[in-house]
Amino acid sequence: MGVFTYQSEIVTAIPPAKMFKACILDGDTLIPKIVPQVFKSVEYLEGNGEPGSIRKVTFAQGNQFNYMKQKVEALDKENFEYIYSVIEGDPLMNMLDKITYEIKLEASPGGGSICKTSSKYYTIGDIELKEEAIKAGKEKASGVLFNSIEAYLVANPNAY
pLDDT digits (tens, 9 = 90+) for 12-47: 999 999 999 999 999 999 999 999 999 999 999 999
SS (H, E, C) 81-136: EEEEEEEEEHHHCCCEEEEEEEEEEEECCCCCEEEEEEEEEEECCCCCCCHHHHHH
85 within domain boundaries: yes
160 within domain boundaries: no
- Beta-carbon contacts of 135 under 8 Å, excluding residues fewer than 6 positions away, are 6
Q: State mean pLDDT over 130-137.
A: 72
Banded pLDDT at 146 (limits 50, 70, 90): confident
Sign of the C-alpha dihedral computed for residues 26, 30, 35 and 37 taken in this order = positive
- Nearest alpha-carbon partner for 153 in 7, 11, 34, 58: 34
Please state the φ and ψ torsions of residue 114, each to the nearest 5 degrees: -115, 120
Give the per-residue pLDDT at 140: 67
Give the whole-angstrom CA distance, residue 67 versus residue 87: 11
Q: State mean pLDDT over 123-148.
A: 78
159 within domain boundaries: no
138 within domain boundaries: yes
Give the per-residue pLDDT at 98: 96
- Beta-carbon contacts of 4 under 8 Å, excluding residues fewer than 6 positions away, are 120, 121, 123, 129, 131, 134
Show the domain range for 47.
Answer: 1-153
Count of domains forming the chain: 1
Sign of the C-alpha dihedral computed for residues 36, 147, 71 and 119 taken in this order = positive
Find the CATH number of the domain harbouring 58: 3.30.530.20
More confident residue, 131 or 63: 63
pLDDT digits (tens, 9 = 90+) for 69-120: 999 999 999 999 999 999 999 999 999 999 999 999 999 999 999 999 999 9
